[in-house]
Chain A
Amino acid sequence: MNLPGFIIRNAFRNKRRLALSVSSVAASLFLLITLQVALRELTNPINDEGSSLRIIVRNKVSLAQPLPARQLQTLERIPGIVAVSPFSFYGGLYKGDEKFTSFAQFAVDPARTGLLLADAKISKAQTEAWVADQTSCIVGKMTTDRYGLKIGDRMKFTGQIYPCDLELKIAGIYHGTADDRNVIFHQKYLDELLGNPGTVGTWWVRAASAAEVPLVTERINRAFANTSAEVRAESERAFVLGFVSMWANIKTLIGGISIVVIFALLLVTVSTMSMAIRERFRELAILKAIGFRRRELFAFILAESFGLAIGGAIFGAGGAWMVYHLLNIQKLTNGLFVMFEVTPRMMGLAFSVAALLGVLAAIAPMFTVARTSVVQGLKTLD
Chain B
Amino acid sequence: MALPIRYSLRNALVRWRSTIATVLGIALVVFVFVLLQSLAAGIEKSSGNTGDPRNIMVMRKGSTAESTSLISRQNLQDIRYFPEIARNAEGEPVISADVLVLVNLPRRNHGGEANVLLRGVTSRGKELRPQVHLVAGRWFEPGKHEVVVSAKLAKRFANFDVGQSFKSGSATLTVVGWLAGGGSAFDSECWLDADECRAIFERNLYSSFLIRAVDDAAGEKFIQRIEADRRFKLKAEREVEYYRKQTMTAAPIKWLGNFLAVTMSIGAVFAAMNTMYAAVGARTREIGTLRVLGFRRRAVIVALLLEGGFLALLGGVLGCAVAFYWNGYTTATMGMDTFSEIVFEFSVTPMLVAKGLIFAVIVGLVGTALPAVRAARLPVIAALKSL
The A interface is mostly helix, strand or loop, or mixed, namely helix
CB closest chain-B residue, reference A22: B270
Which residues of the partner chain A approach B63 to less than 8 Å between Cβ atoms? 159-161
Fill in one digit per residue for B217-246: 1 if any A CB lies within 8 Å of its CB, else 0. Answer: 000000000000000010000000000000
Indicate the member of A65, A228, A336 with the most B CB atoms within 10 Å: A65
Compute how far the CA of A336 lies from the CA of B255 in the bound complex, rounded to whole angstroms. Answer: 12
The one of B62, B113, B233, B270 that contacts A268, using a Cβ cutoff of 8 Å: B270
Q: Scan residues 206-251 of chain A and give those whose CB is less than 8 A from a CB of chain B.
A: 228, 230, 232, 242, 245-250
A64 touches B21 (CB 8 A): no
B28 within 8 A of A: yes
Contact with A264, one of B101, B113, B264, B387 (Cβ below 8 angstroms)? B264
- A228 & B170 in contact (Cβ 8 Å cutoff): yes
By beta carbon, the residue of chain A nearest B21 is A271
Is A270 in the interface zone, CB < 8 Å from B? yes
> By the criterion CB–CB under 8 Å, are A257 and B32 in contact?
yes
- Per the bound structure, the CA–CA distance linking A266 and B263 in Å amounts to 16
Decide: A268 near B260, CB < 8 A? Known: A20-B273, A23-B270.
no
Q: Determine if A249 and B333 form an interchain contact, defined as CB atoms under 8 angstroms apart.
A: yes
Comparing B178-186, B274-282, B303-311, the segment that makes contact with chain A is B274-282
Is A271 a contact of B271 with CB atoms below 8 Å? yes
Q: Flag whether B268 is at the interface (Cβ < 8 A).
A: yes
Question: Does any Cβ of B come within 8 Å of A105's Cβ?
Answer: no
Q: How far is the CA of A358 from the CA of B297 in the complex (A)?
A: 38
- Asked if B248 and A268 make an inter-chain contact with CB atoms under 8 angstroms apart, the answer reads no
How many angstroms from the CA of A34 to the CA of B263 in the assembled complex?
A: 10
Interface size on B, residues (CB 8 A): 59
- Chain A residues with CB under 8 A of B295: none
- CB–CB A275/B18 < 8 A: yes
Taking a contact as CB atoms under 8 Å apart, the answer to whether A263 and B28 are in contact is yes
Among A242, A248, A267, point to the contact of B271 (Cβ < 8 A): A267
Contacts A163-B70, A270-B21 hold; do A261 and B264 have CB atoms under 8 A apart? yes
B11 at the interface (CB under 8 A from A): no
Q: In the assembled complex, which residues on chain B have CB atoms less than 8 Å from the CB atom of A91?
A: 68
Mask: chain B, 340-382; 1 = CB below 8 Å from A; 0 = not: 0100000000000000000000000000000000000000000
Q: Name A1-51 residues within 8 Å CB distance of B.
A: 16-17, 20-21, 23-25, 27-28, 30-31, 34
| 5 residue pairs, one from A and one from B, having the closest CB atoms | A245-B112, A271-B21, A24-B270, A64-B102, A27-B267
17 residue pairs of the A-B complex, CB under 8 angstroms, read A16-B277, A20-B277, A24-B271, A30-B263, A159-B63, A160-B64, A160-B65, A161-B63, A163-B233, A165-B62, A246-B112, A253-B36, A260-B32, A264-B24, A264-B29, A271-B22, A336-B252
Given A64-B101, A248-B111, A248-B341, output 15 extra A-B contacts at Cβ < 8 Å: A16-B277, A20-B271, A21-B270, A23-B267, A24-B271, A60-B169, A61-B169, A158-B62, A163-B70, A257-B36, A260-B32, A264-B268, A267-B24, A268-B25, A271-B18
**Chain A contact residues, CB within 8 Å of chain B:** 16-17, 20-21, 23-25, 27-28, 30-31, 34, 60-65, 91, 93, 99-100, 158-161, 163, 165, 228, 230, 232, 242, 245-250, 253, 257, 260-261, 263-265, 267-268, 270-272, 274-275, 278-279, 336, 381-382
